[in-house]
Chains A and B, each alone.
Chain A
Amino acid sequence: MKNKLTSLLCISLIPLALSCSSQRQPGSRLDTTVKAATTQAGSIYDVNLNLENQNGQVVAWQSLHGKIRVIAMVYTHCPAACPIITQQIKAAESKVLASGLGRVQYTLISFDDVRDTAGRLREFYQEQDLDTNWVLLHAAKGDVRTIAALLNVQYKEWHGSDFTHSDVTFGQAI
């Protein structure tokens, strides 16, 4: 049923430059191994916390509920993966638009609670040439950890300037 929480589509977009022999083959662009996971009763929006968007408006986490949404966690000073993740999602967006599947929301949430202010997110929004289907969000440190936990994203901050992070993008069909 469309308004019951919950098929989490986990689309792995780009394997990061982390190397291990057991890893997926690199270069597998939008080859989407789509995993569907069902939860019994519960939504990733069952948590109270606030974020701020690129326009400086407060956005309640729970208010993101109810739309088909693609979410990725990035940080704008990321030298490698994050702009690529963003562009890959953009490429997916154009396919979604072309196929007439309806409106999908695209959401980037920052790991960087210090440098990714609303102003910096606004710049990134412009640099990446994003449209109004996109919202860029940042939150307090502890809340970023909560969101990552909800999305099962792993990340580590290194001396406040860089983040190692996993590279999953989530689509949630609500």
Chain B
Amino acid sequence: MKRFAFFVSCVFAFGIIPLPTARAQKGAQRLSNEMIRIPAGYYHPFYKVIGIDSERVEALLMDATPVTNAEFLEFVKANPEWRRSAVSSMLAAPGYLKKWRSDFDIGDESLAYKPVADVSWFAARAYAAWKRKRLPTIAEWEYAAQAPIVKPVKANGAARQALILKWYCRPNTTDLSEVGMVNQNAYGVCDLFGQVWEWVEDFNSIIIPSESGANLGALCGAGAAGALDPMDYATFMRFALRNSLKANDVNDQLGFRCVQ
């Protein structure tokens, strides 16, 4: 019976059986509109600077899940200057919200509770401001993401890193899942890994020794020299990605969540 229940939840979680979105949301570990309290603490920057070992992170509230298409649609309706046909390409590159049917129509209903993607940093920030929230800083995001994984399995330390890499290895062609379905960490924050990459407020703050060279400096040998843990490949990937982005870039694997 237990096994069957697990099978059923997998089937729902991976969207094999299409469900009305409300019901699917009920099965989620966390709802998309929930915020999770993250206590204050210290973040050890991935790229060290002489004399600075840790950065204090104040207590904050973090969205339990990435922002969904349904939520982003509400924002676009309330702020039509952010509709696909009106937005300046300087603020959102071509491809912005490209999976939607039209300006105010997501089209495919199964997308509603999946993470919104194809949004620029400017758009993500405008959404956050409209919600009276903001984007997390790198320190806040990474600090919250350091917590052990508790669902679908408990994993900490090396096991946690291996699990994250497994999620990162998922081919880009795989459909996204509805938010809150993939994993949850000890704070209760879901899907920090394994769904979409996420914009952060200070994505453009990564100065790596080869700054003037290729955008992928974070992945080159010199990038590793200053890193906190040269074995933490998953974190390298996030820093390399952030370093490669421009603020108007959009990508179908890149979304965001907010904090307060």
A binds B: yes
Residues on A facing B (Cβ under 8 Å): 12, 15-16, 18-24, 39-44, 46-47, 145-146, 148-150, 152-159, 164-167
**Are A44 and B90 in contact, CB atoms less than 8 angstroms apart?**
yes
Q: How many A-B residue pairs have CB under 8 A?
A: 91
CA–CA, A40 and B248, complex, Å:
13
Hey, which chain A residues are within 8 Å of B89, CB to CB?
A: 39-42
The 9 closest A-B CB pairs, nearest first, are A42-B90, A149-B247, A20-B210, A20-B209, A42-B89, A42-B88, A156-B205, A46-B88, A22-B213
Is B103 an interface residue, CB under 8 A from the partner? no
**Are B91 and A18 in contact, CB atoms less than 8 angstroms apart?**
no
Interface stretch of the complex, out of B69-77, B110-118, B214-222: B214-222
**Are B212 and A18 in contact, CB atoms less than 8 angstroms apart?**
yes
Is B46 an interface residue, CB under 8 A from the partner? no
A-B contact pairs, 25 of them (CB 8 A): A12-B212, A16-B212, A18-B210, A19-B209, A20-B220, A22-B220, A23-B209, A23-B210, A23-B213, A24-B212, A24-B213, A40-B89, A40-B94, A43-B90, A46-B91, A145-B201, A145-B204, A149-B121, A149-B247, A150-B90, A154-B207, A157-B205, A164-B49, A166-B207, A166-B212
**Are B204 and A152 in contact, CB atoms less than 8 angstroms apart?**
yes
- The size bracket of the interface on B is 20 to 34
Is B246 an interface residue, CB under 8 A from the partner? yes
Hey, which chain B residues are within 8 Å of A19, CB to CB?
A: 209
CA–CA, A24 and B209, complex, Å:
12
CA–CA, A152 and B121, complex, Å:
12
**Are A47 and B222 in contact, CB atoms less than 8 angstroms apart?**
no
Which residue of B204, B205, B207 is within 8 Å of A18 (Cβ)?
Answer: B207
Which residue of A42, A47, A146, A156 is within 8 Å of B207 (Cβ)?
Answer: A156
**Are B52 and A159 in contact, CB atoms less than 8 angstroms apart?**
yes
With A12-B212, A159-B52 known as contacts, the answer to whether A154 contacts B88 (CB < 8 A) is no
7 additional A-B residue pairs with CB within 8 Å, beyond A41-B88, A146-B125, A149-B204: A22-B210, A22-B213, A22-B220, A149-B122, A154-B207, A154-B211, A155-B204
Chain B interface helix/strand/loop/mixed:
loop
Hey, which chain A residues are within 8 Å of B49, CB to CB?
A: 158, 164
**Are A15 and B212 in contact, CB atoms less than 8 angstroms apart?**
yes
Is B206 an interface residue, CB under 8 A from the partner? yes
Hey, which chain A residues are within 8 Å of B222, CB to CB?
A: 20-22
CA–CA, A15 and B213, complex, Å:
11
Hey, which chain B residues are within 8 Å of A23, CB to CB?
A: 209-210, 212-213
Query: A167: nearest residue on chain B (CB-CB)?
Result: B212
Tell me the smallest distance from the CB of A145 to a CB of chain B, in Å.
Answer: 7
CA–CA, A46 and B90, complex, Å:
7
Hey, which chain B residues are within 8 Å of A46, CB to CB?
A: 88, 90-91
Hey, which chain B residues are within 8 Å of A153, CB to CB?
A: 204
Is B105 an interface residue, CB under 8 A from the partner? no
With A39-B90, A42-B90, A46-B90 known as contacts, the answer to whether A156 contacts B212 (CB < 8 A) is no
Is B175 an interface residue, CB under 8 A from the partner? no
Is B202 an interface residue, CB under 8 A from the partner? yes
**Are B205 and A154 in contact, CB atoms less than 8 angstroms apart?**
yes
Hey, which chain A residues are within 8 Å of B248, CB to CB?
A: 42
Tell me the smallest distance from the CB of A163 to a CB of chain B, in Å.
Answer: 10
Most-contacted residue by chain A among B122, B201, B212, B222 (CB, 10 A): B212
CA–CA, A157 and B247, complex, Å:
18
Tell me the smallest distance from the CB of B202 to a CB of chain A, in Å.
Answer: 7
Hey, which chain B residues are within 8 Å of A157, CB to CB?
A: 205
Hey, which chain B residues are within 8 Å of A24, CB to CB?
A: 212-213
Which residue of B121, B207, B243 is within 8 Å of A164 (Cβ)?
Answer: B207
